[in-house]
Amino acid sequence: MPPTDLQRQTLNHYGNLIARRESWAGRLVFTAGEGSSATGLPAAVSIAGGCTLALDPDASAVKATFRQGGIDFVVNTLDEAVRVLKNEIRQHKPLSVALIAPLHPTLDEMAARGIQPDLDLTAPREDLLTPWLAARNWSEVTVPAPSLRILDAQLLEMLPTDDTVRRRWLQRIGHYQRPAPGQSRVLWLSAEEEARLPL
C-alpha cells in the first residue's frame, strides 16, 4: 500500500476510535486476520493513547510493519503478548503488539482465559467517522510538502492549543509511519484552516 494511502487509512481508523471516545489510555483494542497488523489500526490506537493486540498469522506482513515502525512488539505466543501488554495498559501507556499465531486456536485460547478487549475491530463496524467529522466542520485534506517535519510544526502552530485530537495526530503519526521523500500529510481541516495552509 502506498504511504499516503496507509496514512489515510490510519487517519480513518483514528477518527473512528476518537468518535467512540477521545482517549483510549488504559484500553485494549483487538484485531485479527491475515495482514491485520499492516492496516494502520495499531498505529491509530497508539496515537489515540491505547494498546493493540493484532493477531496476525502473516509473518511477512507483521515483520514488514514492524520494520516500518507501525507496531512496537512482535511475539509468538499469547503468554508473551499478555505479559507485554498488561503493564502498559495498567500504566495507561500506548503500545501495539502483533502476535504471529494461527487464528482459531488462539481465539479459543483467549476465550478460555477470559481475555476480553475493550473493542474488537476484527469484523467491520458501523462507520462513526462521517457524522463525527461533519459535526466539527472538518474534512480530510492531503497536503504535500518537501519536509513533513516542517509542515507538521507549521500545522501545529496553526491549530488551536486545546485541539488535542488533531494535535496528537500530527505529533505522533511520524513516529509510526516514517516520512518518505515527497510524501504528503493527511489530516482534517476546516475550509477556513485550509485557506490558511502554510504553502
**Of 20, 95, 19, the residue nearest 53 (C-alpha):** 95
Quote the pLDDT of residue 124: 62
Distance between CA atoms of residues 102 and 167, nearest Å = 37
CA 127, 129, 134, 137: dihedral to nearest 10 degrees? -170
DSSP at 48: T
* DSSP track, 72-99: SEEESSHHHHHHHHHHHHHTT--EEEEE
Q: Which domains does the chain have, with CATH numbers?
A: 3-120 (3.40.50.10730), 129-195 (no CATH)
Specify the DSSP element, H or E, that contains 149. helix 148-158
Quote the pLDDT of residue 107: 95
The pairing of beta strand 51-55 with beta strand 95-99: parallel
- Per residue of the chain (199 residues), give pLDDT as tens: 677 899 999 999 999 999 999 999 999 999 999 999 999 999 999 999 999 999 999 999 999 999 999 999 999 999 999 999 999 999 999 999 999 999 999 999 999 999 999 999 987 666 788 889 989 999 999 998 888 888 999 999 999 999 999 999 999 999 998 777 678 999 999 999 999 887 6
CB 177 within 8 A of CB 41: no
**Of 1, 2, 10, the residue nearest 174 (C-alpha):** 10
Distance between CA atoms of residues 156 and 82, nearest Å = 36
Distance between CA atoms of residues 160 and 177, nearest Å = 24
Quote the pLDDT of residue 149: 86
Q: Which three cell numbers stand for residue 14?
A: 483514528
Quote the pLDDT of residue 126: 66
Distance between CA atoms of residues 156 and 160, nearest Å = 8
CA atoms within 13 A on the CB side of 124: 2
Quote the pLDDT of residue 199: 64
Distance between CA atoms of residues 97 and 100, nearest Å = 10
